[in-house]
Chains A and B, each alone.
Chain A
């Protein structure tokens, strides 16, 4: 056992050849102590070869890093190859360092198998008892258990300190009492014109049979009005089977339903005119347009709310009334 070296230098010689382990602080094993993965791995020539191989990896890495700079500045950033070339250069330069380091460890550093004892994963009973005693003594000195007034006033103070959090958090959003009201308020009022995304009002004849159009109230296409999008669909005469009491909600075969899915709120407006199915692409809830958009497949539990239609005196479609029920996904205060 050669233990002549100090702790500072004991294992700092990983880059020297395994054939000279004298200064490693390890036992003076014979040169063949390096892992016998094959006879060609041993000997000064093989050692030189390994060293050259590792150095080549690092060299390739440097070259690729320089190539990265060249691509970065020389190529126009609009070039199709710009990003791919940057990626390749960066990858090669990173791979060069990675492969080089691992080969260094595998081919040049002495292979070793070390054994280390585990320390027990528990304290001795004496230690645990001593710690418990110290804690008990400290607690006794505070008088926390005996002095009831101190205890309760302290716990009370900690409790009341939590109170300021409530208004701070509640001011993150709008006043809670307004919540449900905001969700229950129809974004469409009686007499609102149905307008296209471009803001144009819609009249009979704009839609063919089987046609579908996304409409907004009075040109309000703002994303903040997220529950407003509505679809206007033209059915053939007699195809619509309205709910009792909603016979007057259609105008000349035109019906209007909320586009916002009653399941998770995606726009459900993939309309298939042969089957009159309307599909939500998010979770595939399917609604049957001819039967007041009742759900016939998928996770949605409720029909899409219907918007009563009417014509104004210029012949444009308007909302005959506001939506009669809250739009979009369900929530606790809904009904």
Chain B
């Protein structure tokens, strides 16, 4: 499930509604970043992340390994919370 554009997140309540209606695992398809990851991941099996992992959060920039590591850390925290 996506927000309205590349880099924009779906609303957590829309995600929850879709998760309840879906007969399959749900992924966040856009806009997940460090600020909203834990809220969004409450309703999803994971996320497809592009922009937030780029240097400066700019979609045209190269991937920034430090940003990946920071987000992966949050995902591991989410695992313990589930």
> Do the two chains belong together in a single complex?
no
* Residues of A in contact with B (beta carbons under 8 Å apart): none
* Residues of B in contact with A (beta carbons under 8 Å apart): none
